Amino acid sequence: MFPSYARISMDERGIDEADVRNVLLRGNCVGHRWSRGSYRYEVCTDDLVVVVAFRAEDNAVVVTAWWEGDPD
């Protein structure tokens, strides 16, 4: 699931759904933290970082994504 706030920041950074899906399929979970009522998981490849939260066991929500090394 890609909420509007995630899509906006992804568009601004030149990241598309295929990029995010690739990270979720091939990346490594490098950490998690409790925030705003759910755990947020940071999944990374060499190039891209994606943060997801789970609303249910089978329902992931993309919170944000950024290119590795991007100062934003």
Q: What is the pLDDT of residues 38-61, one digit of tens each?
A: 899 999 999 999 999 988 888 889
Residues with Cβ < 8 Å from 39, sequence gap 6 or more?
32, 33, 53, 54
Per-residue model confidence (pLDDT) at position 59: 87
pTM greater than the 0.85 cutoff: yes
- Cα–Cα dist 38/26, whole Å: 23
